[in-house]
């Protein structure tokens, strides 16, 4: 019997992040599995995993499939876990990461 993959659950903040990325001219492909978004911006590809900051930390962990895939693609494209629009913009290089004190 063939194993059927169930639809990925989309975090509530993903729609706003996708909209903001597209507004600045980024290509956004909604992948769903193993990560949420494939983003092309200024000649560079990035993979984004969107996590909802309103959920408990245990619900924001990478799944075993995501961890396994990360090990396989390491170095092929940056993979970032983002929680909001600012983090997504920084992840794709549209704005600088904030300075850490």
d(CA 9, CA 94): 27
Domains of the chain: 14-91 (3.40.1350.10)
- Residues 28-84 pLDDT 10s: 999 998 999 999 999 999 999 999 999 999 989 999 999 999 888 888 888 999 999
Burial of 31 (0-12, 13-18, 19+ CB in 10 A): middle
Instruction: Please say whether the beta carbons of 82 and 48 come within 8 A.
Output: yes
Q: Is the pTM here over 0.75, yes or no?
A: yes
Express each pLDDT in 80-99 by its tens digit.
999 999 999 999 999 988 88
């Amino acid at each position: 019997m063939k194993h059927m993959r169930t639809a990925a659950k989309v975090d509530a903040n993903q729609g706003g992040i996708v909209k903001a990325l597209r507004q600045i001219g980024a290509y956004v492909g909604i992948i769903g599995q193993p990560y949420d978004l494939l983003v092309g911006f200024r000649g560079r590809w990035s993979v984004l995993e969107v996590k909802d900051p309103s959920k408990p930390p245990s619900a924001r962990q990478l799944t075993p499939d995501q961890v396994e895939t990360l090990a396989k693609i390491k170095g092929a494209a940056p993979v970032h876990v983002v929680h909001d629009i600012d983090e997504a913009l920084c992840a794709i290089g549209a704005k600088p990461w904030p300075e850490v004190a």
